[in-house]
Structure 1
Amino acid sequence: MKGRDRVNKKILSIIILAVVLVGGLYYFTMVKGEETTEELVPENNVSEETNSETNGEDITEDFVPDISIGEEAPNFTLKNLDGEEVSLTDYRGKTVLINFWATWCKYCDIEMPDLQKLDKENEDLVVLAVDVMEKKSLVEEYIAEGGYDFQVVLDEDGDIAKLYLVSAFPTSYFVDKDGILLGGVPGMMTYAQMSQIVEGIRDGE
């Protein structure tokens, strides 16, 4: 019962923080006329064939995901840039920030240094960056140029993005130490916003 109460507190914390963040995103979009996400339509870094496959409508067509806040986050196994298999369940015992992104996404580009900082400064947290439907060589070059060393995995077919209902980049989800999906934030976050959510998760433990 206590375990369930702790989970409920975590979920409540993440929902409250997500509402605050989404409100901020709404402010930037409506008041300042700026977007904080980009639809799944790559620019010039991929082929026309891949371009059509990553359209925001196509990626979720005829697909019913098994994803629920407050339940165990759907596990997945993808290969990292070293060719090693990485699973979400590998990180049980740590909070996981799953970040769906692509190299052509300008808001992902802005967010990346903050993800790096968050990953470095929090030993109890892992940033798991899921690149969606791009060539390994392109992702390797981008990561090397940025000097990023958090975990990057390749969702080559876009199946995990479908599973997590991703329709725009960046999109982030937070998973607690027990593997419970706490919630998600559509759009770019700042380091302060990321840290606020992580602290909220800790306070709910």
Structure 2
Amino acid sequence: MRKKNITLIVLILIFITATYYMFFVKDSKEGGQKNDVVMENNFEEEKSKEKKETDSKVKAPIAIGNEVPNFTLKNLDGKEISLEDYRGKKVLINFWGTWCVFCDIEMPDIQKLDKENEDIVVLAVNVMEGKETVKKYITDGGYEFEVALDEKGIVARTYLVSGYPTSYFVDEEGILVQMVPGMMTYDQMNKVVEHMGNK
């Protein structure tokens, strides 16, 4: 009788253990696998999202063949001028400063280009200097091209200017054709303008 009771208890324990395994441990494992798959998918989605965001941040706003950003600044007469005002014309955007030795050397050639070449308009963007300082420099030099005042340096930063002078040659549709960091001669400028005409 006692042996029967022990056997019965053992069988009950085996049954309970088997039932517990079937309903709890197995489900838990399957759920865990499902959760692992979901977590892996979420991780891949996040990774893909991060890559897209990174790619969009890495893309430079200024690149040859791309449209350059428009900007609006005041000229020496206090009138607002925009790059879009020159749409339909080739434009040389020249970032410069009155204190810059190489800008000073380059200025007469920019004046010559502006005066002798009807195919291009010069827009000289002075960076972070006072209006009176710039006006005196332009008047004393006898320069006649359009000057715009980037008083806070925002346009220069947008255009990724890292040194002065820096020149951007933009075609009639606002597309960047050439970017030249550093001083240029008249002949160098003219070659770029001729290249723009032969596109």
TM normalised by structure 1 equals 0.67
Name the counterpart of 2:141: 146
What are the residue-to-residue correspondences of 1:88-167 with 2, within 5 Å?
88-167=83-162
Q: CA deviation at 1:65?
A: 5.8
Runs of 5+ unmatched residues, structure 1: 1-63
> Which residue number in structure 1 is paired with residue 181 of structure 2?
186
CA-based RMSD: 1.6
Match of residue 170 from structure 2: 175
What is the Cα deviation at residue 182 of structure 1?
1.4
Q: Hey, which bits of structure 1, 4+ residues long, moved more than 6 A?
A: none
* Cα distance in 2 between the residues matched to 1:95 and 1:118: 12
Once residues 122 and 177 of structure 2 are traced to their aligned partners in structure 1, the CA distance between those partners, rounded to angstroms, is 15
- Aligned residue pairs: how many? 143
**Deviation digits for residues 136-175 of structure 1, max 9, x if unmatched?**
0000000000000100000000000000111110000010
Distance 1:127 1:159 in 2: 20
- State the identity as a percent: 67
- The residue identity in structure 2 corresponding to 1:188 is M
Query: Whose relative contact order is higher, 1 or 2, with alpha carbons under 8 Å and at least 6 apart?
Result: 1
Deviations 1:7-42 (A, max 9, x none): xxxxxxxxxxxxxxxxxxxxxxxxxxxxxxxxxxxx
Q: Which runs of 5+ in 2 are unaligned?
A: 1-58
Q: By percentage of residues, which structure has more helix?
A: 2
The TM-score normalised by the length of structure 2 is: 0.69
Post-superposition Cα deviations, 1:106-156, rounded to whole Å, max 9, x if no partner, equal: 100000000001001111210100000000000000000000010000000
CA distance in 2, matches of 1:106, 1:160: 21
Distance, in Å, in 2 between the alignment partners of 1:90 and 1:198 is: 19
**1:157 is aligned with what amino acid?**
K
Work out whether residues 92 and 123 of structure 2, in 8 Å CA contact, stay in contact via their aligned partners in 1.
Answer: yes
